């Protein structure tokens, strides 16, 4: 399973290629082998429209619940409520919650108490963010506007564009934790085995 930066799930049966390529091919609208910032934002808005079931330009609590139970139920097991509070997994005010990577916060991927497991979409995504749809809620009112989704997409693009060339290439993307585990921990990613961006 792969969860796109906007929160869209992509699944592949066992033995098939890891589905990050399926997301990338769809996001690469002009099929030039790279995803620009505009294409990345457009892809995020396309999925925003899927989650925004009543098409009023806002993802509300009912639509978030439908996303978490029907579209991507794999991500809700064990996601702490505090992990859903802010943009890009941040606490109130945009800063890291708590003191730095423990069960209550920091900027590291959230882990289940007493275990070494990543939570929610962090296991399946390019960015360590347990709930990407709610992660776009910049004002913490539990409603995500289209403007908030655009801002979140732009921030996520910057996190992934490590060489700052304004383009994402499939071979430059980090491997997700799930992808690395499926490969048995071998095949360090093409950027020298660095962990996914936070």
Please give the structure tokens belonging to residue 86. 């802010």
| Structure tokens belonging to residue 152 | 């979140």
By residue range, what is the domain housing residue 15? 2-182
Residue 195 lies in a domain: no
SS (H, E, C) the chain: CEECCCCCEECCCCCCCCCHHHHHHHHCCCCCCCEEHHHHHHHHHHHHHHHCCCCCCEECHHHHHHHHHHHCHHHCCCCCHHHHCCHHHCCHHHCCCCCCCCCCCCCCCCECCCCCCECHHHHCECCCCCCHHHHCCCCCCCCEEHHHHHHHHHHHHHHHCCCCCCEECHHHCCCCHHHHHHCCCCCCCCCCCCCCCC
Task: Report if residue 190 sits inside a domain.
Answer: no
Split into its structural domains, the chain has a count of: 1
Residue 74 falls within a domain, yes or no? yes
14-28, 46-60, 72-86, 144-158: segment of lowest average pLDDT? 72-86
Asked whether residue 12 is domain-assigned, the answer is yes
Band the pLDDT of 14: cuts 50, 70, 90.
confident
Q: Which range in 87-91, 92-96, 104-108 is most confidently predicted, on average pLDDT? A: 87-91
Tell me, yes or no, whether 193 lies in a domain: no
pLDDT in tens, 137-179: 999 999 999 999 999 999 999 999 999 999 999 999 999 999 9
Pairing label, strands 9-10, 2-3: antiparallel
Average pLDDT value for residue range 75-83: 52
Residue 58 in any domain: the answer is yes
Confidence of residue 185 (pLDDT cuts 50, 70, 90): low
**Torsion sign across C-alpha atoms 114, 115, 116, 119:** negative
Instruction: State residue 85's pLDDT score.
Output: 38
- Better pLDDT: 107 or 193: 193
3-class DSSP state of 99: coil
Whether 46 maps to a domain, the answer reads yes
> What's the whole-number average pLDDT of the chain?
80
Q: What is the pLDDT of residue 60?
A: 97
Q: Is 196 inside any structural domain? A: no
């Amino acid at each position: 399973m792969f969860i796109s930066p906007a929160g869209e799930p992509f699944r592949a049966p066992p033995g098939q290629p890891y589905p990050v390529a399926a997301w990338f091919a769809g996001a690469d609208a002009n099929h030039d082998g790279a995803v620009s910032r505009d294409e990345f934002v457009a892809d995020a808005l396309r999925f925003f429209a899927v989650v925004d079931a009543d098409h009023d330009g806002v993802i509300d609590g009912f639509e978030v619940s439908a996303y978490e139970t029907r579209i991507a139920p794999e991500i809700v097991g064990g996601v702490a409520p505090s992990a859903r509070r802010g943009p890009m997994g941040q606490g109130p005010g945009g800063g890291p919650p708590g003191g730095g990577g423990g069960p209550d916060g920091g900027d590291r991927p959230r882990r289940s108490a007493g275990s070494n497991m990543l939570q929610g979409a962090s296991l399946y995504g390019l960015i360590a963010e347990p709930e990407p749809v709610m992660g776009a809620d910049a004002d913490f009112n539990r409603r995500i506007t289209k403007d908030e989704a655009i801002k979140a997409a732009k921030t996520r693009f910057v996190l992934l564009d490590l060489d700052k060339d304004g383009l994402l290439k499939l071979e430059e993307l980090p491997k997700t934790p799930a992808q690395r585990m499926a490969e048995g921990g071998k095949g360090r990613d093409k950027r020298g085995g660095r962990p996914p961006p936070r």
